[in-house]
C-alpha cells in the first residue's frame, strides 16, 4: 500500500501546476460540492418522507379514533337498550286490541327517557319486532317492513349480534322518497332469551355530524374513509348526504393506508399525498437549482484557471533564473511588483543574490573568528576560576593547623600535614577540571578530618554517597567549597557542638548534592543575598564580590552543566543552613 502511494505521489510530482490545479478543482471542489449537494438533497427528501409518513400515520389514527368514538358513543346507548327489561317486556307483551297497544305505547314513552336527548343525542332509534299485536308506526315497527332491507339480510347472513352498516336508501323503507346516505348501528334484542317474538333495534347516526367532525380535525391532507371500495366519509368538501356513495379511484395518490374493523364494518382509511409535494416544489425550483449548481461549478473553474496563470508564469520565471545560476553569482529578477507570497519570494531571492558574496566571504569568516575568541575567553575564565580557588583553601587549612598548634603546644602534626599535602596536590593538579564524585568525597573527608582536628569535639560530620553516583563527574573542589563554607560560617561561629552532613544521591533523572550544617545559620536578608549570588554566578560577580568561594563553585557548576544546575538554599538563623544542588544525572558516565 505504501509503495503504491509513493508511486502515485511521484507520478503527481511530474504533473505541471496547471494539471495539479485542475485536479484540485475536480477532487477538492467539484466532486465534494456535487456529492455534498446530492447527500443534502437525499437527506432532506428522506427525512421529509419519514416525517410525512409519521404525519400520515398520526392523521389516520386520529380519523380512526374519531369514527370509533362516534360509533362507540352510539354502542353504549345500544347496550343500555339491549339490557333494558322494561323495553324487552313492552315488545314481548300480547295486546288485546290496537287501542290497548296505543295506551301502553304512550305510557311506555311517558315512563322512560327513551326519546330524550340524553338517550338518543342526534341519533334516531327504531325498535323492530314480529309481535303481531303491535301496531307498526313511530318508534316501534313491524319486522316485516325491513326483512328485505340490505342491513337486515346482512345481519342474519353474518350471524352477528350487532353491526355497523352504511346504506343509501330512502329515509322510510318502501316510501317513494329520494334516497340518502345512512349510517346504522343495528343490534338484536336477545339479552333475556329469544322470547315469543324476534326483536331488534336500529340506531341511525347523523351522517352529516360524523362527516363534520372529520372536517373539524382541520387536516389539509385529503383523507377518505371507504367501505367495500366506496367513499363513506371524507374531510373534503362535496360529500353531500343526498349523493350516492362514490367509488374510490385515487389509489395512485395514496400515501398511507390504515385498515380498521369497527363493529363488524371493515373500513379502509386512505391518506393521500399532500397537495404541496416536496418533489413538486423541487421541480418548480429546478431552474434556480440549476443556476446555483452552475455557479458552484463554473465560477470556481474560472478562478482556478486565473490562479493557475498567476502561479505558473512567475514560478516558471523563477525556475528559469535558478537554471541559469552558476556558482555563487546569482542573477537578480527584474520588475518584481506582485505583493503575494511568490512576489515576496522573488524579492527575498533578489536580497539573497545581492548579499550572497558577503555572507560567504565575510560573515562566515567573522563567525569562525568569533567562535575562536569565545573558546579562548572561556579558557581564560576557567583559568581565572582555578587561580582563585588555590590560595583560598590553602590559607584556611594552614590557619587551622597553626591555631591548633598554638593552643595545644603540640608537635604531632604529621598526620595533619599529610592530609594537607593530599589536598595541595589537588589544588596544583589542574590537568583535568572534572573529577568523579567518589574521589571528590575522599578530598572532602581529608578536609573534614583537618577541620575536626581543629575544632575537636565541637565538630562532627557524616558523609554518604549512593553507589550509582560514585562515578558521576563534577568540577574539582566543588563539594569541598560548600563543606568549608559550612565549617567557617556555621560551626566556627557556634560555641556549642555542631554537625555537618554531606549526602550525594540520585532522585529520578537528577543527582542531588546536599550539604547541611547545624551552625549559626543566617538572617533572611543574608539568605536572599546568597540565593541571588548562587543563581546569578558569573565572572563579573566574582570580580566585584569579596567572598568568592561559593560563587566560584556555582559558576563552574553552571558552566559544566550548560546552565542546567539548580540551587536550593534553606535554613533559619540559629538552626543552620542546608544547600541542595541538583545536576542532570548522566547515564553514560555510571561506573
pTM for this entry: 0.46
Q: Is 407 inside a domain boundary?
A: no
State the pLDDT confidence band at 33, using cuts at 50, 70 and 90.
confident
Q: Is 349 inside a domain boundary?
A: no
pLDDT of residue 381: 52
State the pLDDT confidence band at 340, using cuts at 50, 70 and 90.
confident
Poorest-confidence range of 80-89, 174-183, 307-316?
Answer: 307-316
Give the domain CATH number at 138. Answer: 3.30.450.20
Q: Is 388 inside a domain boundary?
A: no
Pairwise pLDDT comparison (325 vs 531), residue with the higher score: 531
Q: Is 423 inside a domain boundary?
A: no
Q: Is 506 inside a domain boundary?
A: yes
State the pLDDT confidence band at 517, using cuts at 50, 70 and 90.
very high
Quote helix, strand, coil % in the chain, to nearest 5.
55, 20, 25
Q: Are 465 and 512 in contact (CB under 8 A)?
A: no
pLDDT of residue 215: 87
Read off the pLDDT of residues 555-569 as tens digits, 9 standing for 90 and up.
Answer: 889 988 888 999 999
pLDDT of residue 57: 92
| Domain termination residue (choose one: 272, 291, 320) | 272
| Domain termination residue (choose one: 272, 293, 314) | 272
Read off the pLDDT of residues 262-293 as tens digits, 9 standing for 90 and up.
Answer: 998 999 999 998 766 566 666 777 787 777 77
| Coil, strand or helix at 179 | coil
Domain that holds residue 496: 457-584
pLDDT of residue 295: 78
Poorest-confidence range of 260-274, 297-311, 458-472?
Answer: 297-311
> To the nearest whole number, what is the mean pLDDT of the chain?
80
Q: Is the pLDDT of residue 53 over 80?
A: yes
Quick one: average pLDDT of 217-235?
Answer: 91
pLDDT of residue 510: 94
Total number of domains constituting the chain: 2
Q: How many CB atoms lie within 10 A of CB 370?
A: 10
State the pLDDT confidence band at 258, using cuts at 50, 70 and 90.
very high
| Domain termination residue (choose one: 220, 253, 272) | 272
Give one word for 153, left, alpha or beta, with left for phi > 0 and alpha for psi -120 to 50. Answer: alpha
Q: Is 241 inside a domain boundary?
A: yes
Quick one: average pLDDT of 495-516?
Answer: 94
Q: Is 545 inside a domain boundary?
A: yes
d(CA 169, CA 166): 10
Those residues whose C-beta lies under 8 Å from the C-beta of residue 134, and which sit 6 or more positions away, are 91, 95, 101, 140, 142
Q: Is 248 inside a domain boundary?
A: yes
Q: Give CA separation, 225 vs 218, 246, 247, 440, in Å.
A: 16, 11, 11, 107
d(CA 328, CA 109): 127
Quick one: average pLDDT of 91-97?
Answer: 90
Give the domain CATH number at 495. Answer: 3.30.565.10
Q: Are 233 and 210 in contact (CB under 8 A)?
A: yes
d(CA 572, CA 518): 10
Q: What grid cell was written down for 199?
A: 326483536
Poorest-confidence range of 387-391, 415-419, 458-462, 574-578?
Answer: 387-391
Amino acid at each position: 500500500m505504501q509503495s503504491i502511494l509513493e508511486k502515485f505521489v511521484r507520478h503527481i510530482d511530474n504533473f505541471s501546476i496547471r494539471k495539479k490545479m485542475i485536479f484540485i478543482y475536480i477532487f477538492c471542489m467539484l466532486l465534494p460540492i456535487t456529492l455534498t449537494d446530492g447527500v443534502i438533497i437525499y437527506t432532506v427528501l428522506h427525512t421529509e418522507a419519514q416525517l410525512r409518513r409519521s404525519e400520515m400515520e398520526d392523521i389516520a389514527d386520529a380519523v380512526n379514533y374519531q369514527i370509533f368514538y362516534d360509533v362507540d358513543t352510539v354502542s353504549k346507548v345500544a347496550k343500555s337498550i339491549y339490557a333494558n327489561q322494561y323495553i324487552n317486556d313492552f315488545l314481548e307483551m300480547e295486546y288485546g286490541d290496537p287501542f290497548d297497544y296505543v295506551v301502553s305505547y304512550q305510557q311506555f314513552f311517558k315512563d322512560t327517557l327513551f326519546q330524550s336527548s340524553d338517550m338518543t343525542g342526534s341519533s334516531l332509534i327504531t325498535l323492530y319486532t314480529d309481535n303481531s299485536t303491535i301496531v307498526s308506526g313511530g318508534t316501534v315497527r313491524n319486522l316485516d317492513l325491513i326483512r328485505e332491507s340490505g342491513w337486515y339480510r346482512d345481519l342474519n347472513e353474518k350471524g352477528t349480534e350487532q353491526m355497523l352498516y352504511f346504506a343509501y336508501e330512502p329515509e322510510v323503507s318502501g316510501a317513494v322518497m329520494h334516497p340518502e346516505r345512512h349510517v346504522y348501528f343495528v343490534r338484536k334484542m336477545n339479552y333475556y332469551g329469544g322470547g315469543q317474538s324476534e326483536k331488534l333495534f336500529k340506531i341511525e347516526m347523523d351522517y352529516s355530524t360524523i362527516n363534520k367532525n372529520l372536517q373539524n380535525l382541520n387536516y389539509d391532507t385529503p383523507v377518505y374513509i371507504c367501505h367495500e371500495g366506496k367513499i363513506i366519509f371524507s374531510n373534503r368538501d362535496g360529500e353531500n348526504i343526498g349523493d350516492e356513495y362514490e367509488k374510490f379511484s385515487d389509489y395512485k395518490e395514496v400515501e398511507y393506508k390504515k385498515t380498521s374493523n369497527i363493529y363488524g364494518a371493515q373500513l379502509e382509511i386512505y391518506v393521500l399525498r399532500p397537495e404541496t409535494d416536496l418533489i413538486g416544489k423541487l421541480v418548480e425550483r429546478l431552474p434556480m437549482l440549476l443556476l446555483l449548481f452552475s455557479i458552484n461549478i463554473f465560477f470556481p473553474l474560472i478562478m482556478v484557471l486565473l490562479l493557475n496563470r498567476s502561479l505558473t508564469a512567475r514560478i516558471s520565471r523563477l525556475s528559469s533564473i535558478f537554471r541559469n545560476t552558476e556558482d555563487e553569482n546569482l542573477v537578480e529578477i527584474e520588475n518584481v511588483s506582485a505583493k503575494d507570497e511568490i512576489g515576496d519570494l522573488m524579492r527575498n531571492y533578489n536580497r539573497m543574490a545581492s548579499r550572497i558574496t558577503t555572507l560567504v566571504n565575510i560573515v562566515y569568516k567573522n563567525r569562525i573568528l568569533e567562535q575562536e575568541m569565545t573558546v579562548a575567553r572561556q579558557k581564560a575564565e576557567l583559568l581565572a576560576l582555578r587561580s582563585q580557588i588555590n590560595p583560598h583553601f590553602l590559607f584556611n587549612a594552614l590557619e587551622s593547623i597553626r591555631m591548633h598548634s598554638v593552643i595545644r603546644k603540640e608537635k604531632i602534626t604529621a598526620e595533619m600535614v599529610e592530609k594537607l599535602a593530599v589536598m595541595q596536590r589537588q589544588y596544583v593538579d589542574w590537568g583535568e577540571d572534572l573529577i568523579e564524585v567518589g574521589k571528590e568525597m575522599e578530598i572532602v573527608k581529608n578536609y573534614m578530618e583537618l577541620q575536626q582536628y581543629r575544632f575537636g569535639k565541637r565538630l562532627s560530620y557524616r558523609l554518604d554517597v549512593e553507589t550509582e553516583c560514585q562515578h558521576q563527574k563534577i568540577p574539582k573542589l566543588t563539594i569541598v567549597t560548600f563543606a568549608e563554607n559550612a565549617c567557617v560560617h556555621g560551626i566556627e561561629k557556634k560555641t556549642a557542638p555542631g554537625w555537618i552532613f554531606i549526602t550525594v544521591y540520585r532522585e529520578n533523572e537528577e543527582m542531588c548534592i546536599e550539604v547541611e550544617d547545624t551552625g549559626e545559620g543566617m538572617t533572611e536578608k543574608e539568605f536572599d543575598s546568597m540565593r541571588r549570588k548562587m543563581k546569578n554566578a558569573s565572572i563579573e560577580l566574582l570580580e566585584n564580590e569579596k567572598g568568592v568561594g561559593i560563587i566560584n563553585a556555582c559558576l563552574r557548576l553552571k558552566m559544566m552543566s550548560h546552565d542546567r544546575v539548580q540551587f536550593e538554599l534553606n535554613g533559619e538563623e540559629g538552626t543552620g543552613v542546608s544547600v541542595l544542588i541538583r545536576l542532570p544525572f548522566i547515564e553514560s558516565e555510571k561506573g
